[in-house]
Chain A
Amino acid sequence: MADLSINLAGIQSPNPFWLASAPPTNTGYQVQRAFEAGWGGAVWKTLGDPIINTTARFAAVSFNGQRVAGFNNIELITDRPLEVNLKEIAETKKRFPYHALVVSLMVEPKREKWHEIVKKVEAVGVDGLELNFGCPHGMAERGMGSASGQVPELVEKQTYWVKEVASTPVIVKLTPNITDITVTAEAAVRGGADAISLINTINSLAGVDLDTWNTIPHVAGKGAHGGYCGPAVKPIALNMVAECARNEKIKIPISGIGGISNWKDTVEFMLMGATGVQVCTAAMHHGFRIVGDMIDGLNNYLDEKNIASVTDIIGKVVPKYSDWGNLDLNYKIVARINTDTCINCNKCHIACEDTSHQCIDMLRDELGNSYLKVREEDCVGCNLCSIVCPVEGAIDMVEVDSGLPPMTWNQRQEFIGKFTDKVEIKK
């Protein structure tokens, strides 16, 4: 049995699985049920001045029959009085002293407002604070959430104000609705953040009803953008986590969020630099019990690889993540089709023929049977055929020797630069 416990900026947790600040962590009842089910931590739904919510609030995107590929919400922060939340937080912490209980906060960007709420929340005994600079809807219109999270100066300043009074670790939750998330991450670091968590939800409109011409969801015939999350956003989140992890100026722990649904997603986020993960959509789809397989699967994976502690995998793939300019231009792979496994759907052919490099031929053997073959000399190794192939093992992407030594774009430019310099000197 591997050690699954983590320490995120001083916050101890029996495992890396936390529930994100969201509808599942609205009450003590819910958070306690989650801990009973096995979740290692929870970020309490954002506290602030109680708001009024609309109906409806959620919408989801199904993709080819798979429900909840993406999830969209327009629900805001807590709609319950601060005192009620604090009472339940205290009860929960008392019942589960060894679980990570972090509380998400959001107030107006005013120093005294932040001081006030931080003191009140820390007084009931929490393990950490998470500053919600990410909520993209509703609160943003009031100058909070992503509205302040999109302005690096505001991120820095508010983090600083919190750090002036906070005694527990402070996590800054970042919005992805920004061109370069490392800019706000750096601002959080400058403000003194102990950790960052990302990503919050992405501005979204789930759909439009073709008959009623209403948005999905709509509130009395009117819609507003929501925040998108769930499996569909995972690649976006994974990149943002990795970009922060490999940034020299952001040397603080990362809590990874965005489409994490199982232990495999968790391993990916941790390999790309996350110290732990936060989950919401998968729990909303299936209930808290999904953590059972997450714990078991992660443990079996680590045991299988003889890794003693889950913390040993944090950031292990970060050194392999770089800029395009550092990729080897002379590395070559080509597609090979295994005729025995191929079921002759010809999807690879048409994908290549119409949209890539026209190198998969439809042929017939001496008995008149159809088969597909890659002209390797024309194949650019783009992966498209193997992506569209519906059969496991029918197309292999194999490494071939290009006959050239490794050379990146940056090396190439550097070389040309030297050559150009010389020419200039001669002049």
Chain B
Amino acid sequence: MLNGKTLKLADNFLEIDAGLSKHEAVEEAQRCLYCYDAPCIQACPTGINIPSFIKSIASGNLKGSAKTIMTSNPVGASCARVCPTEELCEGACVLNHSTKPIMIGNLQRFATDWAIHNKQQLFKKAEHNGKSVAIVGSGPAGLSAARELARFGYSVTIYEAEKKAGGLNAHGIVSFRLPPEIPEWEVKQTVELGVEIKTNIRVGTDIQADEILENYDYVILAIGMGNVPKLEIQGEELDGVFDAIELIKETKENQIRKDFIGKKVVVIGAGNTAIDAATCSIRLGAENVKILYRRTAEEMTAYEFEYEFAKQDGVEFRWLTAPKKIIGKENQVIGIECVKMELSDKVKEGRRTVVPMIGAEYVVRADIVIKAIGQTRHIELIDQFGIVHEQGVVKVDFATFRTSNPKVFACGDCIFGKGKGEAMVVTAAQQGKQTALAILQHSDLLNEDTKSNLI
């Protein structure tokens, strides 16, 4: 045992939460008031009819329950696990004002788990309408758009750079919170509708943007974001410096490295990816894990439950601490020089800025440094499509999700601007749906038949 975790490292990556038993789920479902015009529905970015799916759990109609969820949210099984429910549906539950809110996330997981374990295919392929769409990226936004378009009758091809489809859900969220088989099932639901996913094809490298623009009626960019940007400090090239996204991806591919055992780890940044990198490190056997953040707990972007989870995992937090230089010996990280910061009254992108305190430098011992200070943008690829962007954030008309090129649409993290709140999986899923609908409207195919498919 190390840090309360087993040394059989792979076991540390099994899903932590066992989910509700049938008994617990039915009992909880019966506690739901089945509100009319329920605030939980309003609070869900994808507008899942939550009271309805819960009622179906209570009545034993689990297929109907799963279908209600997945109709509104094509990645509803993943969202059941990764949504910040206390800020969304559960936060809006009227029972917050009387007893305690319904465990909506857990119930959503119960219903979708049932569908996964019982190998349910919830949707039917529509008749082909003669139009084709290429989607770049198979993450929550791309997959969601594909699922909807397939239901409307479009011929859909997704180009995915990785060898496995699913995007962030498949590669970017730690397995102990989101096991790989969940996004796999969501991908399968979409593929069964006739959507073709070409994996291992990086648009811009393996196939040119022009070729895609030529061969399809519409193109959707759902390319998300890239790896972690450079810290732009000395020592970044040393052995022992990791990219959080790469590290998490590795664990998702079942490559459980042994070189974290007994090490001192420092994670830079305090978003959800930083927390994931920190808790991953603990599970890889690190002796001590510290998160360094130049602001305070107030400003950090990690969800409250992620923060709580990290604390319970034994992750230490060093607030108002910025890295100045990574110190190495024989090309190997041995520490990190930090500087104490203080909050200023200036607000930038919705958060208070910080300034370094003069003479407040100190060194933290570290064997490993993990960068988790956000993600880069796929600027080159966006440029190849010749569409307008602002520092890599694709510009769209939010009513139609259309870019500066009328046949190119964009959704998900690639249109997510700085300082615009949180980039959530559930928001990406909703944008994917809306983009599909916008294409449907643009194709002038919105009729009684297709309307019946809309939620």
Contacts and interface: CB of A to CB of B under 8 A. Distances in A.
Highest count of chain A CB atoms <10 Å: which of B23, B30, B36, B63: B63
Interface string A381-402: 0000000000110000000000
Contact of A264 (B30, B34, B55, B59): B59
Interface string B57-85: 01111011001000000000000000000
A290 B63 CA distance: 16
Interface in A216-270: 262-264
**Chief secondary structure at chain B's binding surface:** helix
Given A66-B30, A290-B55, A296 B64 contact: yes
A300 interface: yes
A294 B67 CA distance: 14
Contacts, number: 40
Contacts of A294: 59
A143 interface: no
B61 A263 contact: yes
B59 A287 contact: no
A300 B63 contact: yes
Contact of A296 (B21, B34, B56): B56
A286 interface: yes
Given A66-B30, A286-B34, A287-B36, A293 B61 contact: yes
A300 B64 contact: yes
Interface in B1-50: 21-23, 30, 34, 36
B52 interface: yes
Contact of B52 (A66, A264, A293): A293
Interface residues of B, number: 16
Contacts of B23: 391-392
Interface in A271-324: 286-287, 289-290, 292-294, 296-297, 300-301, 304
Interface residues of A, number: 18
A269 to B, nearest CB: 15
A168 to B, nearest CB: 33
Contact of A293 (B21, B36, B55): B55
A263 B59 contact: yes
A293 B30 contact: no
A58 to B, nearest CB: 19
B59 A297 contact: yes
A392 B58 CA distance: 16
Nearest to A65: B31
A297 B36 contact: no
Highest count of chain A CB atoms <10 Å: which of B23, B30, B56: B56
A293 B59 contact: yes
Contacts of B34: 286
A392 B21 contact: yes
Nearest to A300: B63
A286 B63 CA distance: 21
B55 to A, nearest CB: 5
Nearest to B54: A293
Interface in A108-158: none
Interface string B267-290: 000000000000000000000000
A392 B26 CA distance: 12
B296 to A, nearest CB: 43
Highest count of chain B CB atoms <10 Å: which of A262, A286, A293, A391: A293
B371 to A, nearest CB: 47
A281 to B, nearest CB: 14
A391 B21 CA distance: 11
A136 to B, nearest CB: 29
A301 B62 CA distance: 10
Given A293-B52, A392-B23, A264 B60 contact: yes
A282 B22 CA distance: 23
A213 B16 CA distance: 54
A289 B58 CA distance: 15
A293 B22 contact: no
Interface string B315-343: 00000000000000000000000000000
A173 B320 CA distance: 76
A66 B61 CA distance: 20
Contact of B60 (A66, A292, A297, A392): A297
Instruction: For the complex of A and B, list the 3 residue pairs with the smallest distance between their C-beta atoms, beginning with the closest.
Output: A297-B61, A296-B64, A262-B59
25 contacts: A66-B30, A262-B58, A262-B59, A262-B60, A263-B61, A264-B60, A287-B36, A289-B36, A290-B55, A292-B52, A293-B52, A293-B56, A293-B59, A293-B61, A296-B64, A297-B56, A297-B61, A297-B64, A300-B63, A300-B64, A301-B61, A304-B63, A391-B23, A392-B21, A392-B22
Interface of B: 21-23, 30, 34, 36, 52, 55-56, 58-61, 63-64, 67
Given A262-B58, A286-B34, A300-B64, 18 more contacts: A66-B30, A264-B59, A264-B60, A287-B36, A289-B36, A289-B52, A292-B52, A293-B52, A293-B59, A296-B56, A297-B60, A297-B61, A297-B64, A300-B63, A301-B61, A304-B63, A392-B22, A392-B23
